[in-house]
Amino acid sequence: MTMPDKETLLQEELLIVRNSGEIPEIAFHSALHYLTADPEGPGLTLNAVDLRHLEEQVIARYREIMLRDLDPANRDLRIYRGVRRCIFNWERLGKFLARQQRPEPQGLRAEIADQLCAFLHVEAREVQEGRRSSVVNCTAEELEGFWRLLAVVPCHLPADWPRLCLPDGEEG
């Protein structure tokens, strides 16, 4: 059996990384290992463009995961992990970007900030109307740290956002 060409192998790994689970950099490192160092792998030499394509899939997956967890439509689904997980994933993405010496993707911070504000407005309205209990699974301190990091202007948040959060010291 002949080994597929480099482009085919790389495309397969890009797809795997893009559709990876909750921690896409694990799939990234697995792909790198398989493609370059695994004795049973193809033993490729990846260039900067190849690496950039793999890194972009990690970034795309993190974006997708964070937006999923800030989508009010997902709150009652098994896939929903909550605001706290979004905060963790923002931090993980930042660490990944630093390790790879990549800048933050243009517009990503604003996109996540806008989605966070929209999520909190829907959540606040539905909680106030008595249609549901809050699913915000982080403390007000954690949420404030996140929205400040995202450069959210406080007036864009619902006035009663802190009451959506867990009490200090409680785990979500």
Residue 169 lies in a domain: no
Contact at 8 Å (CB) between 44 and 35?
yes
Residue 143 lies in a domain: yes
Identify which of 53, 42, 63 has the alpha carbon closest to the alpha carbon of residue 16. 53
What is the count of structural domains for the chain? Answer: 1
Residue 69 lies in a domain: yes
Residue 1 lies in a domain: no
pTM of the model: 0.91
Residue 148 lies in a domain: yes
Domain span at residue 95 reads: 6-164
Contact at 8 Å (CB) between 119 and 150?
no
Identify which of 102, 8, 94 has the alpha carbon closest to the alpha carbon of residue 52. 102
Residue 171 lies in a domain: no
Identify which of 35, 64, 65 has the alpha carbon closest to the alpha carbon of residue 50. 35
pLDDT tens digit at each of 172 positions of the chain: 666 888 999 899 889 888 888 889 999 999 999 999 999 999 999 999 999 999 999 999 999 999 999 999 999 999 999 999 999 999 999 999 999 999 999 999 999 999 999 999 999 999 999 999 999 999 999 999 999 999 999 999 999 999 999 997 666 6
Residue 100 lies in a domain: yes
Residue 157 lies in a domain: yes
* Residues in contact with 35: Cβ distance below 8 Å, sequence separation at least 6, in sequence order: 9, 10, 13, 41, 42, 44, 46
Residues facing residue 166 across a β-bridge: 139
